[in-house]
Homo-oligomer: A and B are copies of this chain.
């Protein structure tokens, strides 16, 4: 295991210190927590957006803290849900009285712990609503989830919920916008190599030199099948087909595309995938209005990528175009 770390037990704490030092004008660390919040939180008169989850998916989620996106991100240990007492700290710190909206990826631990924090917050008189993101079309249940997993599409939820809140949307309106994103967003990923959790010391699965895992999760959870590695266009075609034939009717629609790197895949390769996605969607009469290529939701140093399509309407396009000023997301 080759990692640029000190003691594996301190990885998350040291990472959060390094982040806070990197973005001192944008974020601050709530003392004695693994929570980063907007420097100026709570923002008066605005619904606050809180997300988080296990670490190892950077820049998710702390990289999305900023104007027009998140007010707080709660970091768990590597690939491990944050505890309710961490989540409640985030909620308390960012609530301005307008309520707090939780963006939760659909993993059993995250859903349980965020919902427990929600109940604690509500008992304190804070209004809280939530959405559970489940964009991954690959598998119905997995080792980490009941139902579909939340993966890179979560970043679209951050953007849209954040923009709606920044525009003065009420807690109910933010929730409606976020639910629209979840209902219209589908993703699927592929891995060419595994990754290693610092504390574990060995990779979370094994792939032969000529194999890839199709439908992989962002924690290395198994996908739908293991195949021989194929040309980029064939891999992209396979993922795109599964996304397109899922329950969202993308026919003749407008979409935002995200080609997300899982950690070790060069940006050049992500652009090659993007080229194929665009040409295929054009062929199908689907109009791409926005494109995002890069590392948005990673899985440590895993090689591979995911493709996300979000069907957009006028409201979503406007919210996607609205200002965002987070370290890892600018508009």
Contacts and interface: CB of A to CB of B under 8 A. Distances in A.
A235 interface: yes
Copies of this polypeptide in the complex: 2
B272 A14 contact: yes
A330 B330 CA distance: 7
Interface in A247-303: 263-275, 278, 288, 291-293, 295, 298, 300-301, 303
A322 B22 CA distance: 18
* Most chain B beta-carbon neighbours within 10 Å: one of A11, A275, A278: A275
A23 interface: yes
Interface stretch (A55-63, A102-110, A165-173): A55-63
Say which size band chain A's interface belongs to. 35 or more
A269 B55 CA distance: 12
A273 B18 CA distance: 7
A30 interface: no
A22 B231 contact: no
Mostly, the A contact residues are mixed
Contacts of A209: 2
Given A18-B271, A59-B267, A231 B301 contact: no
A5 interface: yes
Contact of A212 (B2, B6, B305): B2
A58 B5 contact: no
Nearest to A304: B4
Contacts of A21: 274-275, 278, 288, 291
Nearest to A234: B6
Given A2-B209, A21-B275, A301-B303, 11 more contacts: A2-B210, A3-B232, A3-B269, A6-B272, A15-B268, A18-B273, A59-B267, A264-B301, A265-B301, A266-B300, A267-B298
